[in-house]
Amino acid sequence: SLFPQALAANAGTGFAVAEPQVAMFCGKLNMHVNIQTGRWEPDPSGTKSCVGTKEGVLQYCQEMYPELQITNVVEGNQPIRIENWCKTEKKVCKGHAHIVVPYKCLVGEFVSDVLLVPEKCKFFHKERMDMCVSHQQWHGVAKEACSKSSMMLHSYGMLLPCGIDKFHGTEYVCCPSSRSGEAAPPAMPTEEDDEEEQVEDEEIDETDMEEDYAVEDSEAPAEEQPTQKEEPLDEDEEEEDEEEYHYVYEDEEADKEDEYEKKESRKMPESQDEDKTLQEVKAVCTLEAETGPCRASMPRWHFDLSQRKCVRFIYGGCAGNRNNFDSEEYCMAVCKRLSKSHQTGAGPT
């Protein structure tokens, strides 16, 4: 992954090595991740292709992973390249690659991502209980908020689900433009950094969403996507679509009309970086270690408030909570403000 993100709270059951995901490209068989092997596999019936609604995506996730309690879907943050797509009449296809944005199939109760904040970067979150919009639209809001302060969006996640791939908010990390391409060491921002610069918590209203809607309008509906030219199936052949492939869903179009009827112009409250970041750290790092309902055996790390350090625990593979890290370093990077060394250096809080 290009961005350090949250742990696989939705990783699956048994000895899962990957989280459940599905991907669609019209005219080709749907693909899904085998959570035991981590590989993408075609629709087992050999008949299912793209669907017209996000409700359909959720239903397809539930069909592909009947042993998991799939409760929602969320669009992936980045497009990925998937090999060996088959047309609906074929079952074995070599070398046919497409770049698509997959959907993650979410298991159980929604658990928001834990985002690392590199040096010089800032963490923010926006929540609007009167707005219930898609992952793609919140991505646009986060990107715009960073760019208005001459920063780049580094990573982001969704907050407060309110529908299928729809949310009341987003959390995101902005970094200075000059270092957007660097692999920054994990670190939470210091108090001094927080006072030096502050990304404006911009107003979210219809204008923030216009670009996203324009993008959606410019894309052909899934049913109207051009069919791929017939090619001989050669193992060395590569058929690629290098542009991001987005679906346009009927339910998204209806939501768009509803949004335009709302005249939201209230300004978001001013963000107070230091308080917000410390609140976020406490919200994550004071949670008890939670194995979750699944029966995998995954060694993970959690921050133990009584010891003020990160300790190991065994994670079951799904659900659980956000105090769940894949390494001690990652755990300390997020929770170091509550650690012994930070308390000693900074004095009592």
Residue type, 331: C
Q: In angstroms, rounded to a whole number, what is the distance separating the alpha carbons of residues 8 and 28?
A: 28
* pLDDT tens by residue, 116-126: 888 889 888 88
CB 57 within 8 A of CB 103: yes
Does 217 have pLDDT greater than 50? no
* pLDDT tens by residue, 174-197: 999 875 444 433 444 333 333 333
pLDDT of residue 283: 87
CB 65 within 8 A of CB 48: no
Does 242 have pLDDT greater than 60? no
Q: Which of 247, 289, 282 lies closest to 75, judged by CA?
A: 247
Instruction: Output the CA angle 143-224-245, nearest 5 degrees.
Output: 35
pLDDT of residue 279: 82
* pLDDT tens by residue, 36-92: 888 999 999 888 999 889 999 999 999 999 999 999 999 999 899 998 888 877 767
Report in angstroms the alpha-carbon separations of 71 from 55, 159, 223, 267, 338.
11, 15, 26, 32, 33
Long-range interactions of 79-87: CB distance < 8 A, separation 24+: 79/244, 79/245, 80/23, 82/23, 82/31, 82/40, 83/40, 84/40, 84/42, 85/25, 85/28, 85/29, 85/31, 85/42, 86/28, 86/29, 86/42, 86/46, 87/27, 87/28, 87/29, 87/228
Q: Which of 145, 124, 143 lies closest to 135, judged by CA?
A: 143
pLDDT band for position 213 (cuts 50, 70, 90): very low
pLDDT of residue 203: 41
* pLDDT tens by residue, 279-308: 888 888 999 998 876 666 778 899 999 999
CA dihedral 318, 324, 328, 334 (to 10 degrees): 140
CB 93 within 8 A of CB 85: yes
pLDDT band for position 255 (cuts 50, 70, 90): low
Backbone phi, psi, residue 286, to 5°? -95, 0
Residue linked to tokens 């669609």 = 24
Report in angstroms the alpha-carbon separations of 119 from 173, 185, 204.
11, 7, 27
> What domains sit in the chain, N to C, each tagged with a CATH number?
1-108 (3.90.570.10), 122-213+261-271 (3.30.1490.140), 286-342 (4.10.410.10)
